[in-house]
Amino acid sequence: MIIRPYPVSGLEWVRAEYLSPFGPIRSSWKKDAGTFTLSITVPVNAMAAVHLPAGDPKRITAGGKALSEAPGVKLLAYANAVAVVEVESGSYEFEVR
């Protein structure tokens, strides 16, 4: 599955849920004072590619940790101010500053 939020001017937050064959996929994001926060839940026995808008991938944390130190999170690519990370099943909170 692919989780690709599109923060746009005029929206401060979005929340969505989709009932997949694996179970519910949840995603919500908010913008607040220069910080973009994305919370997701990936069902058991599934993986997701998560696209995060970021000027620099070093400014992204997952669960308060750098991407390289966050369990279940792997940086796959970075291009055009978007970091793509792969996550295992579970719940995650990403912050981009």
42-80 confidence digits (pLDDT tens) = 999 999 999 999 988 899 999 999 999 999 999 999 999
State the pLDDT confidence band at 33, using cuts at 50, 70 and 90.
confident
Distance CA 95, CA 52 (A): 9
Average confidence score pLDDT of the chain: 95
3-state secondary structure of 8: coil
For residue 77, the model assigns a pLDDT of: 95
Question: Mind listing the domains of the chain with CATH numbers?
Answer: 2-96 (2.60.420.10)
